C-alpha cells in the first residue's frame, strides 16, 4: 500500500482520540543548535503550546490492526474497516518530511495492539528514539502507552516523549469488563502509577534523566455506556489526585457502522462533552469538588454551565459582596473567572470596587448581575427564585447557518 493511502486510513483512525493537547511541554528550539523542530512553532491549529499558541501535530496510529475487540472502538478486531500499518521508518520519514514542509510542529502517535503489548510499545519507542537521537528532532512528541507493556519500555518512552498517556477509556471497572473484557482497569492504573513514580523521582532529583516533562493524561469515552456525569467526574477527580494527571479528556462516543448491540446506536449530545470539560476545569482550577457540582447521581445540566448551576443551587452565598469575599469565592461568582478574581483583589487594595470596574474588566455582566454587590450596586430583585433566574439565563438553542458569509454584511 502506498504511504499516502496508509496516511488516509491511519490519520482518520486516530481522530477518535481527543487527548492530543501539548500544554505543559517545555520550550525547545533548534536555533543555533544541531537538529530541527521546536515546541513553539505556528501552523494548522491542532493543539496548543503552554503560552496558548496553536500548533499542528501529525496525529496518526502506527496501525489500526488490533488483537483486542473493545466494543466501542472502530478499530476492534471484529470491525470491518480498511486496515493499514506503518513501519517505524515510514513514521519517522513522515514526521521529518512534514516538519520540513512546515506542515507540523510535533507528533501524536498511538497504535492498535499488534502481536503483543511489548512488541507494540517497542515500535512506538523506536520511532521516538530515532526522531530524537538520529534526526535530532526537537519538536513535541506525545506517545500513547500500552498498559500491559514492560515497565522498562514505558520508562524508555518517557525519555523521548514530552507526554505519555494511558487511556482508561471507560469510567467504571464494570463497564470495562463488559465492553472491553480483554483489558483490565487494574493494569491501566498500574501503568499510570508507574509513570507517576517516575515523574515524582524526577521532581525530587532534577539531575535525573528527563522523563515526560509534560506529564501524563488519559481519556474517557462519554455515552458508550449508561454511566452518568456524576460518576465520570468522581472518577476524574480520583485520577487527578492519585496519579497527578495533567488532563482528563472526554470524548463523546461516536457510533460506527455495524456497531455491536452492546453499545448505543446514537451518540450522546455533544453539549454533554462540553459541560464535562467545563466541570473538569472547575475541579482542576477553581477548587470545586465533584460532589459540589453534582451532589447526587445524574448528569450535568445542558441548558446552563456548571458554575451557574452551582450558584443557583447555593443562593445562600449570594448576592456576594465583591469588596469582602475572598479570592476563591470571587472566582465562584458566575461571570467572574480566575484572572478577574485576582484583579478585583488587587483593586480592593487601593479603593472599593464599583460596578463600572467589573464592566471594564470585561466580566460577563449579564450573568453576574444577580449575584453581586458592589460599592454602588445591589440587584433590585435579589429575592427572585432560582427557577426564574434559570429560565432567564438558560442558553437559547440556535440554528447554525450553513453559509454565514451570506447571512449578513460581507
All 3 cell numbers of residue 367?
450573568
All 3 cell numbers of residue 362?
470585561
Average pLDDT, the chain: 88
Contact status, residue 71 vs residue 262, Cβ threshold 8 Å: yes
pLDDT single digits (tens) 207-249:
888 999 999 999 999 999 999 999 999 999 999 999 999 999 9
Place of cell 520540513: 100
Task: Phi first, then psi: give them for residue 165, nearest 5 degrees.
Answer: -140, 140
Q: Say how far apart CA 402 and CA 245 lie, in whole Å.
A: 39
Residue 261 CB contacts under 8 Å (≥ 6 apart), including other chains: none
All 3 cell numbers of residue 142?
506525545
Give the pLDDT score at 45: 31
Give the pLDDT score at 24: 40
pLDDT single digits (tens) 54-67:
668 899 999 999 99
- DSSP state letters, 187-200: HHHHHHHHHHHHHH
All 3 cell numbers of residue 145?
502507552
Q: Say how far apart CA 176 and CA 189 lie, in whole Å.
A: 13
pLDDT single digits (tens) 156-191:
999 999 999 999 999 999 999 999 999 999 999 999
Buried b (16+ CB within 10 A) or exposed e, 353-378: bbbebbeebebeeebbbbbbbbeebe
Place of cell 455533544: 270
Going by C-alpha positions, the residue among 327, 269, 335 that lies closest to residue 308 is 335
Mean pLDDT on 378-405: 75
344, β-bridge pairs: none
Measuring CA to CA, how many Å separate 232 from each of 227, 277, 279, 283, 313? 7, 11, 11, 12, 21
Contact status, residue 3 vs residue 9, Cβ threshold 8 Å: no
Q: Would you give the DSSP letter of residue 349? A: T
Amino acid at each position: 500500500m502506498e504511504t499516502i493511502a496508509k496516511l488516509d486510513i491511519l490519520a482518520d483512525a486516530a481522530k477518535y482520540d481527543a487527548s492530543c493537547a501539548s500544554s505543559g511541554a517545555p520550550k525547545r528550539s533548534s536555533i543555533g543548535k544541531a537538529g530541527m523542530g521546536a515546541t513553539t512553532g505556528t501552523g494548522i491549529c491542532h493543539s496548543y503550546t503552554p503560552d496558548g499558541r496553536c500548533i499542528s501535530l501529525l496525529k496518526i496510529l502506527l496501525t489500526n490492526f488490533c488483537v483486542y475487540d473493545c466494543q466501542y472502538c472502530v478499530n476492534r478486531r471484529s470491525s470491518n474497516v480498511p486496515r493499514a500499518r506503518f513501519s517505524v521508518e515510514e513514521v519517522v520519514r513522515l514526521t521529518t518530511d512534514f516538519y520540513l514542509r512546515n506542515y507540523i510542529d510535533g507528533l501524536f502517535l498511538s497504535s492498535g495492539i499488534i502481536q503483543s503489548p511489548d512488541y507494540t510499545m517497542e515500535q512506538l519507542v523506536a520511532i521516538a528514539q530515532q526522531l530524537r537521537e538520529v534526526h535530532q528532532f526537537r519538536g513535541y512528541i506525545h506517545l500513547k502507552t500500552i498498559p500491559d507493556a514492560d515497565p522498562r519500555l514505558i520508562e524508555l518512552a518517557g525519555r523521548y516523549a514530552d507526554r505519555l498517556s494511558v487511556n482508561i477509556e471507560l469510567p467504571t471497572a464494570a463497564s470495562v469488563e463488559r465492553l472491553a473484557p480483554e483489558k483490565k482497569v487494574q493494569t491501566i492504573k498500574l501503568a499510570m502509577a508507574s509513570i507517576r513514580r517516575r515523574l515524582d523521582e524526577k521532581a525530587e532529583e532534577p539531575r535525573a534523566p528527563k522523563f515526560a516533562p509534560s506529564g501524563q493524561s488519559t481519556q474517557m469515552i462519554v455515552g458508550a455506556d449508561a454511566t452518568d456525569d456524576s460518576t465520570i467526574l468522581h472518577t476524574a477527580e480520583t485520577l487527578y489526585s492519585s496519579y497527578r494527571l495533567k488532563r482528563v479528556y472526554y470524548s463523546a462516543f461516536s457510533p460506527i457502522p455495524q456497531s455491536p448491540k452492546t453499545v448505543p446506536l446514537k451518540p450522546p449530545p455533544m453539549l454533554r462533552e462540553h459541560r464535562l470539560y467545563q466541570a473538569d476545569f472547575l475541579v482542576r482550577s477553581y477548587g470545586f469538588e465533584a460532589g459540589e457540582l453534582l451532589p447526587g447521581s445524574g448528569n450535568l445540566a445542558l441548558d446552563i454551565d456548571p458554575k451557574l448551576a452551582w450558584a443557583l443551587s447555593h443562593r445562600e452565598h449570594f448576592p456576594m459582596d465583591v469588596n469582602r469575599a475572598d479570592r476563591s469565592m470571587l472566582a465562584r461568582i458566575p461571570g467572574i473567572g480566575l484572572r478577574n478574581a485576582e484583579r478585583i483583589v488587587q483593586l480592593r487594595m487601593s479603593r472599593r470596587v464599583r460596578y463600572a470596574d467589573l464592566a471594564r474588566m470585561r466580566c460577563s455582566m449579564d450573568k453576574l448581575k444577580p449575584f453581586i454587590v458592589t460599592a454602588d450596586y445591589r440587584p433590585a430583585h435579589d429575592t427572585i427564585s432560582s427557577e426564574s433566574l434559570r429560565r432567564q439565563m438558560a442558553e437559547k438553542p440556535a440554528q447554525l447557518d450553513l453559509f454565514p458569509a451570506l447571512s449578513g454584511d460581507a
